[in-house]
A and B are shown apart, each in its own frame.
Chain A
Amino acid sequence: MAKKKALVQEATEAQTVTETQAEIAAASTEATAKPSAPTEAAAKPSTPPKAEENLREPAEVKYAEELAWLESVDTGNKPFSWRLSPRMIRTFILGTQPGEKLARKIDQKFFGDATLVERAIVTLASDRGLLLIGDPGTGKSWLAELLAAAICGNSTHVVQGTAGTTEDQIKYSWNVALVISQGQSRDSMIASPMMKAMQLGQMGRFEELTRCTSDVQDALISILSEKYIAIPELSTNNVVFARPGFNIIGTANSRDRGVNDLSSALKRRFNFIHIPIVTNKKSEREIVMFRTRDLLRRNNFDIDVPAALMDILLQTFADMRESAAAAASDDQRLESSLSTAEQIGVLEDAILYGNFFGEKQLTANALARSMIGGLVRRVPEDLSVMNKFWHAVVEKHAKENKKDNTWKEFSEGGKSIMSDMSK
């Protein structure tokens, strides 16, 4: 392994590297505190900080109570050290069905094909890693988080893949100060989130796998097949074995396809699950409402989106997707992927605007402003695409729905902001 060479290098640029590592380590929860005592950490499930302290709670904290309840009623067969049985995980993610004999209602948290979730759960129970692949904003990371939370109660063993991700961040690195003072030992080693997940027998998550360069990605091969990480720098106790229950959930962006292709060796160790863009209006409406409520709860107000505005939002997005699909070149398309996440962003923005600067309620005008403000990224290309779309499609709707003034207001609002932008 090139690890030794890397170590020499590391020693020279010691300070900076250690800092980054430390940061990443700190980013994970307090399981980091005692990396050398995995058993203890596993025995005592993570007790995350209290809700008020965090901007965004991980799924296992947010739904801690629900998970605990499900665990208490779960009689099914649990693979490895999973907290819940596969069927309960499905119930946790997809919500209860009336036919299920459960005493309380569990809300649906991921909106999509049930088969897809089932396949994902089953993959994690098998020998292979799970790679969720799909367009940006389709809920890949959210599903990964939910799965990790339901399976092992900790969704924070995350490696974020970037162009600058190195192999150290996947395997381990060294606390240079400790190495200098005490020499190389397990104590002076900084375990990566992935290694921690292995030690704890939990789910490791790798976000945006395809953003990393291929050689870095390949560090996962041995983790996925041999299920251990060797530490050649140490002479004894130099292998970290994965405990049962460890697996990897990766996410990859299908828009990045071809940038850093997975090697075929890695491909075979992952099961790919494609997450499609939701095109079913009914479920899309649910997703948008669900997420927007969720996000706005942070600002401590609940909102009521008028059904007509919701229809407008969904219809406009559906129309935009249609025209994007029909467009001949990238210049005739908006840069945005027009995913559900974008819709949520638009709605949230409109609500916030209305609440802080407007009439305390959502108006069609504000929705149009947020939509155009949010989706027009390149000027003039996006603006002209939007202008064309607005006059061809939105105007038509406004004319068709004469009785309802909302469309008209929406259309006018959009036009006014577009003319402001083109000044």
Chain B
Amino acid sequence: MPQSQKSRTIAQDRFAPLRGQLLAAVQAFSQGTRTIDKMLAAIVDDMERATNEPVEIFPVAHHSPAAAIQILRRLQDGPTPKVIFVELCEDLQSVLPGLADCQLPIALQSFATETAGFPPDWSPLTVVAPLTEFSAEFQAIAYALSHPEQTQLVFVDRSVDHIFQWLPQQEGALAEALGHQEDEEGISEEANENLHGTAYGVQMGRMEPTFEGFQEVLLSNARVRHFSEWWDQYVESSIVGADYQTYREVMCLVGSLIRRLGQSKERLENDRKRERYMWARIKEHLAQHKLQPEETLFICGAAHTASDVDSFGTQTPHRDPIPPRTQTKWLYGIIPSSFRSIEQQFGMPDGTISLAENAWKRSQEALGLRSLGIKDIKDIKDTPQAKPAPKKSTKKTPAKADPTDKEDASSSPITSVSTVPDVLGFLQRPPQLLEQDEEQLLRWCVEIVSMARENGYLASTADAIAIYQTAILLGRMRNRRHPSPYDFQDAAITCLEKDRTPKKRNVRRLCEILLGGDRSGHVGYSSLPPLAQDVYDRLSALPVTLKGKTVQRALMDFRQNPEYTACSDLLWRLHYLLGKNNSLIRPIMGERTLGQRALQESWDISIGKYQAPLIQLAYEGASIEQVLERRLLQHAFSSKARTVQALEATEDSLLYLEARRLTQRLGEHANDLLVQELGADAAQDIFERIRRLVHYYRSTPEGLPPWLQHFVATGYSHFSTMLPEAFSDRGTSPQQISGMLAFIFTLESLALSMGCERSQLMIAIKQSASLTQDPEKLGILWAAEWLLSVRDIDEIRNFFDHLLQNPLTLVAFPRYLDGFLLALTFTPLVSRLIVELLSKAFERLPDRVLMPWLPSLLMGLQPHRDTLLPSILQEVAQIYPKASKELDAWIAPWYRERRKRNAVIPTTIVQEIRPAPSVLSNEERNVFQLMADHPQTTDALAHLFGVATTWRSPETAEAPNISTASSVFHDEREVGAHALLRHHPQTTDALASLLRLPPSWPTEPTHAPSDLVSAMPHPNAVTEDLEPEAAAAAALLHNHPQALTALVKHLTN
């Protein structure tokens, strides 16, 4: 280290001019405040201290090509360090050997699903540390891994566990840390392109100021939009070509400035914790291996060089204790990353990383360096390192001054040529810029135009010229000697973007693609964990390229290629494990249900692009089957699991794993859980699942497995036992009860064959009867009772008829009906009764009850449209007439039955009412005889009235028509007619005298009309056919006495 030695000896002299100049600047520009003065002095002190530290501190900035170039030159030209300390989480070091078969960018990942000591809503915890080729840390890693015998690599930063320990231990604190853009180490959003998922990002040398005010001043002064642009323009591009010592000093200065001015309090506090940790680790390592500090290199963020912790440096013996980790079990691996993911993770503007890569390639070419890559790690044996002479770029063209910060900027015009390679001289010199920019800009201009044309823009050579011109003008205006990529981008947008974007990509996006575009990394096969390797192996039978970054469509015809069946099984397992919405694999055609095997399937596979979920899965086990088994067991045996979850796991085990023992175990566990089940809330779900399983197993040659038989038996007795409680418990809904009954009745035969007794159910049902008043539950209960022949259908019918007659009670009718509807789930037999009740409801319910109920009826029926409605509709089709013509003559069957019974009732009434079976007098007998002998008249009369006549011989006739008509009153009109005839007896008397009959009028009707009315079930219901017509006949006779007279005349003649 010749340079650093020199710097140490003449340090005091070297920095004096710088101090002097800074002081002069303060005096010239500040209004007498001494704080700036002190601060500037402190910055120089920080730098001095850092460069004097025996451990060679190498300050870096994140993803800075300049830092990568410098460390490369240092490692290739300088003395080989025995140890390289790197500011990265110490426990991530374990995954480094896996780097050998990867394609950058990748990310070192740490992952924990089960956490101990952290707030529960934080899990799962993920940490990623992305690595790109152009980062100092990667170059150092690559160097150390390719020179294992000379150089040892040690990660010294706090462990992954500590990251989370040091967050405030509250729910939501993690989300805040992840979601807060300006926060320490970035964010991650669930974007399509983000390969990191929701992870906490770790990055070395994050420079972006967290103190908003400072950043604002910095950016607006420099007239740039983002900090990365500022960094690129004012620091990065000028220190690429600087010599090693100057690089370190400048970085220390900038780091110190940003640390002292630009960081928020929380960030500073966190930094201090980390610094204490790092120095403790470094000192520990040095002591353990008896190394001299001078033999080591420490790569850390530039801000850490200005640390103010006590333990800074090896010259103080102070060493802070290392805090313990929590019990959390961390898993480590490598996942692929991409430029875009890194940008999103750390909240950088789009394209930053692409530009950095661009700069890296350019500087490499210009300086004639060969970078270390994955290849160097891979073939460690190829030791001869290409060490091209680090030709210092001789073309030092004078350019603009480099205002590292505003104070420095003010000092730049004063030039003093110094011969010693000192930092002041560097700051005063214009930066050495790399040549061939001109040519590159021209190339970009031409290429962007052709890309724009491909993307639908009307772009031509004229545009290329305009872009070139505009870029140069913009660069000038922004105080740049040569347009930066940002200027180029702005120019391209200005000249090409019109009022709308013709195709998918706009010019900004095109520029990003042109300047490097997104690049995503890939974890090679041999670096993959065993599970992922296994997946790759087993899917290799498919006709797709698994390494491709695009979406691949796999078409599988299992008849032609039976070997694909195994692939399909694997894909389904993966699909189950990764969740329905994973980006890895997606079924396009085909599904997996119990008892069905698809003949063809097609899948979209993009494993090549999204390796990360697969790798994370690999943390859980060695093979997919093992992980799946563990997941299923976890699902079923977790403390929160209930019968449904266990059954679900059982079903999934049948679907995805052919492991009979596992299924049996899960099923038995479900059985155990069922017994402990206290409520009926899952009854419906349990029933559905069990029914599916029973159907499936019945179709298999082995038949029902023992666990399922046990389950059915247990379920039968369990639910039977629970019935009374369910009926009485208000918290149990009718739906749940119907679910229970569905289980009981549907699986009854199976359960009985397993030794259950129906009497258990009978007792339960009988017990329930007195326990509930809820109409819906009563509806269900009665349906069940009817099914068990405990209740007669007429009983139910009568109850409802009664209910409907009382305007106060008919309001409850719909609720009973709802109960019956629910009963349909366990027996289709009630559908007839339901149709009857529904018809009555529509017939008799007043609108004020019917209308509000209709929506709930529809909504209640809607979920059963596939199961219950068909049986109801079938029933309806049988009952109702097919054509509207038939409707007139149609009588509902339940009324038909009623009429049959009613036809009996009048005769009984007649028998009861009649004082005695009257013996006809002689005269009567004569008249009857006469009428019987001359039936034409009466027949004609009857025909006129539309009445069928039957003639009986007077001997057999016990109750002749006429006398019946006069003595029994069934109808109001009849009574009226009778009253009328009584009040105007002349007609009848005349008739009687003609007929030679003595007039004999009863004084009062035998029945009060009101009684008769109340006996009618419904005013409109037709109960008897003949009586009204007879009354009409009487009325007619009375109204048209001529007819009678004529009749009498005819008879006498």
CB distance from A375 to the nearest CB of B (A): 27
Set of chain A residues within 8 Å of B491, measured between Cβ atoms = 119, 122
CB distance from B452 to the nearest CB of A (A): 12
- In the assembled complex, B427 has its CB within 8 A of some CB on chain A: no
8 Å CB contacts to B: which residues of A30-84?
77
8 Å CB contacts to A: which residues of B74-125?
none
CB distance from B933 to the nearest CB of A (A): 89
Residues of B in contact (CB 8 Å), total 29
Can you list 22 A-B contacts with CB-CB less than 8 angstroms, sorted by A residue number? Answer: A97-B220, A97-B223, A115-B225, A118-B474, A119-B470, A119-B490, A122-B474, A122-B477, A125-B473, A126-B469, A126-B473, A127-B469, A128-B466, A128-B495, A133-B499, A254-B499, A267-B458, A268-B458, A268-B460, A268-B462, A272-B497, A272-B499
How far, in whole Å, are A86 and B478 apart by their CA atoms in the complex? Answer: 10
Further contacts, 9 of them, CB under 8 A, given A97-B221, A254-B499: A77-B476, A86-B473, A98-B217, A115-B490, A118-B490, A119-B470, A122-B474, A126-B466, A133-B499
**Do B223 and A114 touch (CB < 8 A)?**
yes
- In the assembled complex, B463 has its CB within 8 A of some CB on chain A: yes
- In the assembled complex, B406 has its CB within 8 A of some CB on chain A: yes
8 Å CB contacts to A: which residues of B185-228?
217, 220-223, 225
- In the assembled complex, B498 has its CB within 8 A of some CB on chain A: yes
- In the assembled complex, A87 has its CB within 8 A of some CB on chain B: yes
**Do A273 and B494 touch (CB < 8 A)?**
yes
8 Å CB contacts to A: which residues of B503-526?
none
**Do A121 and B221 touch (CB < 8 A)?**
no
**Do B494 and A86 touch (CB < 8 A)?**
no
Set of chain B residues within 8 Å of A77, measured between Cβ atoms = 476
**Do A119 and B494 touch (CB < 8 A)?**
yes
**Do A264 and B466 touch (CB < 8 A)?**
no
Set of chain A residues within 8 Å of B223, measured between Cβ atoms = 97, 114, 118
Chain A residues packing against B (C-beta within 8 Å): 77, 86-87, 90, 97-99, 114-115, 118-119, 121-123, 125-128, 133, 252, 254, 257, 262, 264, 267-268, 271-274
- In the assembled complex, B409 has its CB within 8 A of some CB on chain A: yes
**Do B494 and A123 touch (CB < 8 A)?**
yes
A264 touching B473 in the complex, CB below 8 Å, given contacts A98-B221, A273-B494: no
A126 touching B458 in the complex, CB below 8 Å, given contacts A87-B477, A272-B497: no
Set of chain B residues within 8 Å of A264, measured between Cβ atoms = 458
Quick one: which of A86, A90, A119, A267 contacts B498, CB cutoff 8 A?
A267
How far, in whole Å, are A254 and B498 apart by their CA atoms in the complex? Answer: 12
**Residue among A87, A262, A272 with the highest chain B CB neighbour number at 10 A:** A272
CB distance from A184 to the nearest CB of B (A): 36
How far, in whole Å, are A260 and B388 apart by their CA atoms in the complex? Answer: 63
How far, in whole Å, are A305 and B761 apart by their CA atoms in the complex? Answer: 80
**Residue among B225, B460, B466 with the highest chain A CB neighbour number at 10 A:** B466
CB distance from B983 to the nearest CB of A (A): 71
**Residue among A118, A122, A123 with the highest chain B CB neighbour number at 10 A:** A122
**Do B221 and A126 touch (CB < 8 A)?**
no
How far, in whole Å, are A257 and B500 apart by their CA atoms in the complex? Answer: 10
Set of chain A residues within 8 Å of B477, measured between Cβ atoms = 86-87, 90, 118, 121-122
A133, closest chain B residue (CB): B499
A114, closest chain B residue (CB): B223
Chain B residues packing against A (C-beta within 8 Å): 217, 220-223, 225, 406, 409, 458, 460, 462-463, 466, 469-470, 473-474, 476-478, 490-491, 493-495, 497-500
B489, closest chain A residue (CB): A115
A85, closest chain B residue (CB): B477
**Residue among B217, B409, B499, B500 with the highest chain A CB neighbour number at 10 A:** B499
**Do B462 and A122 touch (CB < 8 A)?**
no
Set of chain B residues within 8 Å of A125, measured between Cβ atoms = 473
How far, in whole Å, are A273 and B477 apart by their CA atoms in the complex? Answer: 18
CB distance from B569 to the nearest CB of A (A): 46
B493, closest chain A residue (CB): A119
**Do B463 and A268 touch (CB < 8 A)?**
yes
Set of chain B residues within 8 Å of A252, measured between Cβ atoms = 499
How far, in whole Å, are A119 and B496 apart by their CA atoms in the complex? Answer: 12
**Do A99 and B474 touch (CB < 8 A)?**
no
**Do A272 and B469 touch (CB < 8 A)?**
no
**Do A122 and B470 touch (CB < 8 A)?**
yes
**Do B458 and A118 touch (CB < 8 A)?**
no
How far, in whole Å, are A126 and B495 apart by their CA atoms in the complex? Answer: 10
Set of chain B residues within 8 Å of A262, measured between Cβ atoms = 499
Set of chain B residues within 8 Å of A90, measured between Cβ atoms = 477
**Do A123 and B497 touch (CB < 8 A)?**
no
**Do A86 and B466 touch (CB < 8 A)?**
no
**Do A99 and B406 touch (CB < 8 A)?**
yes
Set of chain B residues within 8 Å of A123, measured between Cβ atoms = 470, 494
Set of chain A residues within 8 Å of B498, measured between Cβ atoms = 267, 272
How far, in whole Å, are A128 and B500 apart by their CA atoms in the complex? Answer: 19
**Do B499 and A257 touch (CB < 8 A)?**
yes
A262, closest chain B residue (CB): B499
CB distance from A321 to the nearest CB of B (A): 22
How far, in whole Å, are A64 and B1001 apart by their CA atoms in the complex? Answer: 128
Set of chain B residues within 8 Å of A267, measured between Cβ atoms = 458, 498-499
Set of chain A residues within 8 Å of B490, measured between Cβ atoms = 115, 118-119
How far, in whole Å, are A264 and B499 apart by their CA atoms in the complex? Answer: 11
CB distance from B930 to the nearest CB of A (A): 88
CB distance from B518 to the nearest CB of A (A): 23
Set of chain B residues within 8 Å of A119, measured between Cβ atoms = 470, 474, 490-491, 493-494
**Do B458 and A122 touch (CB < 8 A)?**
no
Set of chain B residues within 8 Å of A126, measured between Cβ atoms = 466, 469-470, 473
Set of chain B residues within 8 Å of A118, measured between Cβ atoms = 223, 474, 477-478, 490
**Residue among B409, B462, B491, B495 with the highest chain A CB neighbour number at 10 A:** B495
CB distance from B386 to the nearest CB of A (A): 42
How far, in whole Å, are A126 and B221 apart by their CA atoms in the complex? Answer: 26
Set of chain A residues within 8 Å of B460, measured between Cβ atoms = 268
Set of chain A residues within 8 Å of B409, measured between Cβ atoms = 99
**Do B494 and A271 touch (CB < 8 A)?**
yes
How far, in whole Å, are A32 and B713 apart by their CA atoms in the complex? Answer: 105
**Do A122 and B499 touch (CB < 8 A)?**
no
Set of chain A residues within 8 Å of B494, measured between Cβ atoms = 119, 122-123, 271, 273
For the complex of A and B, 5 pairs with smallest distance between CB atoms: A99-B221, A122-B473, A119-B494, A86-B477, A271-B494
Set of chain A residues within 8 Å of B497, measured between Cβ atoms = 272, 274
B220, closest chain A residue (CB): A97
Set of chain B residues within 8 Å of A97, measured between Cβ atoms = 220-221, 223
How far, in whole Å, are A264 and B463 apart by their CA atoms in the complex? Answer: 13
How far, in whole Å, are A87 and B473 apart by their CA atoms in the complex? Answer: 10
**Residue among A90, A97, A119, A274 with the highest chain B CB neighbour number at 10 A:** A119
How far, in whole Å, are A20 and B463 apart by their CA atoms in the complex? Answer: 39
A123, closest chain B residue (CB): B494
**Do B476 and A86 touch (CB < 8 A)?**
yes
How far, in whole Å, are A87 and B476 apart by their CA atoms in the complex? Answer: 9
B458, closest chain A residue (CB): A264
Set of chain B residues within 8 Å of A121, measured between Cβ atoms = 477
How far, in whole Å, are A127 and B468 apart by their CA atoms in the complex? Answer: 12
**Residue among B223, B460, B462, B493 with the highest chain A CB neighbour number at 10 A:** B223
How far, in whole Å, are A88 and B228 apart by their CA atoms in the complex? Answer: 26
**Residue among A121, A125, A273 with the highest chain B CB neighbour number at 10 A:** A125
Set of chain A residues within 8 Å of B470, measured between Cβ atoms = 119, 122-123, 126, 271
**Residue among B225, B491, B498 with the highest chain A CB neighbour number at 10 A:** B498
A113, closest chain B residue (CB): B225
A267, closest chain B residue (CB): B498
How far, in whole Å, are A75 and B469 apart by their CA atoms in the complex? Answer: 22
How far, in whole Å, are A121 and B466 apart by their CA atoms in the complex? Answer: 14
**Do A127 and B474 touch (CB < 8 A)?**
no
How far, in whole Å, are A118 and B498 apart by their CA atoms in the complex? Answer: 17
Set of chain B residues within 8 Å of A87, measured between Cβ atoms = 477
**Do A271 and B469 touch (CB < 8 A)?**
no
A94, closest chain B residue (CB): B223
How far, in whole Å, are A381 and B796 apart by their CA atoms in the complex? Answer: 57
Set of chain A residues within 8 Å of B463, measured between Cβ atoms = 268
